[in-house]
A = this chain, B = another copy of it.
């Protein structure tokens, strides 16, 4: 019923009949094979136009064994600007290779990630960019061995040898904390997400080596991990400030934490210094200037996509890990330090 509303979609054989030629000749014309008499070409094109014929790409790629000109992107959540920026960058590179992009959400769920992976393989995508939710990717090995190209983004894979593109998390955090130390802060509150998350772990490690390198004594009350929401970050800031020996500066492990910390400092009118990992839109319009460890999210996506297309194009070199540099953007730091 619902498929019978309008006229059936014409096939190349309908076109052939209308033009009075063989299907193969139609195929030649729509594939721009030069050895067709101009007269026939015209007849065929006329029939194509009249019938509104459009080649069925599925049938075409099936028969010809060509690539599907599709890649997949498995990502946490498209509504998150970080991820959507990546998706936009990947789509742009894909377009440059005349390739479509299927973006699917893993909702940060390892099981869903695996389901999506399989589904995309069944669609015969030419390659996959994966922002890992799970921590074990050995399930991808059979597909990798059968030629599925993969690039891991933002977090390296485990259980499989494959390309990855990640941010220089540890060094970035190190630089951020170091800058606070140079400004004379000795008591720095560090707030990070769960160490189960690769980036959080790396950033925490970077922050710690900076503190250790400066000979700052370790104080457990100044480190809080497992903070997932702004509200929790605000609470962590509150707890530290109300503690015995409050910090004069904070290092926030990601932008959600930065926002939460900022809200709490703003609420109290407290002037502790704050440096956060991740830049974010409108940060220049924040109630107070903000120093951040920034990186080029677009570069992250673009680099991964380019790596993938290099692989698809035949690059068979040893898998590599590309590290995207961070840079410290100091904004109004002088106002925040004593």
Q: Is A248 an interface residue (CB 8 A)?
A: no
- A27-67 vs B, CB cutoff 8 Å, 1 = contact: the mask equals 00000000000000000000000001011111101100100
Interface of A is mostly: mixed
Q: Which residue of B lies closest to A77 (CB)?
A: B88
Task: Mark out the residues of chain A between 159 and 188 whose CB falls within 8 Å of any chain B CB in the assembled complex.
Answer: none
- A254-267 vs B, CB cutoff 8 Å, 1 = contact: the mask equals 00000100110010
Task: Mark out the residues of chain A between 1 and 15 whose CB falls within 8 Å of any chain B CB in the assembled complex.
Answer: 1-3, 5-9
- A95-123 vs B, CB cutoff 8 Å, 1 = contact: the mask equals 10000111111000000000000111111
Q: Is A92 an interface residue (CB 8 A)?
A: yes
CB within 8 A of A54: which of B56, B122, B281, B282? B122
Is A78 touching B84 in the complex (CB atoms < 8 A)?
Answer: yes
Q: Is A146 an interface residue (CB 8 A)?
A: yes
Question: What is the bound-complex CA distance between A259 and B286, given in angstroms?
Answer: 12
Min Cβ gap A2→B in Å is 4
Min Cβ gap A125→B in Å is 10
- A285-300 vs B, CB cutoff 8 Å, 1 = contact: the mask equals 1110000000000100
* Chain B positions within 8 Å of A52 at CB level: 142-143, 145-146
Q: Is A85 an interface residue (CB 8 A)?
A: yes
* Chain B positions within 8 Å of A259 at CB level: 282, 285
12 pairs of residues in contact across A and B, judged by CB atoms under 8 Å:
A6-B146, A7-B145, A8-B146, A52-B145, A58-B68, A87-B87, A91-B104, A100-B104, A100-B120, A101-B102, A103-B103, A281-B281
Q: Is A124 an interface residue (CB 8 A)?
A: yes
In the complex, the 8 A-B pairs of residues with the closest C-beta atoms, listed nearest first: A84-B84, A78-B88, A79-B88, A2-B314, A52-B142, A57-B122, A6-B145, A58-B58
* Chain B positions within 8 Å of A263 at CB level: 285
Is A147 touching B262 in the complex (CB atoms < 8 A)?
Answer: no
Q: How many residues of A contact B (CB 8 A)?
A: 65
Is B104 touching A103 in the complex (CB atoms < 8 A)?
Answer: no
Min Cβ gap A251→B in Å is 20
Question: What is the bound-complex CA distance between A298 and B145, given in angstroms?
Answer: 40
Is A58 touching B54 in the complex (CB atoms < 8 A)?
Answer: no
Which residues of A approach B to under 8 Å, CB–CB? 1-3, 5-9, 52, 54-59, 61-62, 65, 68, 70, 77-79, 81, 84-85, 87-89, 91-92, 95, 100-105, 118-124, 142-143, 145-147, 259, 262-263, 266, 280-282, 285-287, 298, 312-314, 316
Q: Which residue of B lies closest to A263 (CB)?
A: B285
Is A91 touching B105 in the complex (CB atoms < 8 A)?
Answer: yes
* Chain B positions within 8 Å of A55 at CB level: 122
Q: Could you say which of A8, A79, A105, A316 has the most chain B C-beta atoms within 10 Å of its C-beta?
A: A79
* Chain B positions within 8 Å of A146 at CB level: 6-9, 52
Q: Which residue of B lies closest to A301 (CB)?
A: B79
Q: Which residue of B lies closest to A105 (CB)?
A: B91
Min Cβ gap A162→B in Å is 14
CB within 8 A of A62: which of B58, B79, B122? B58
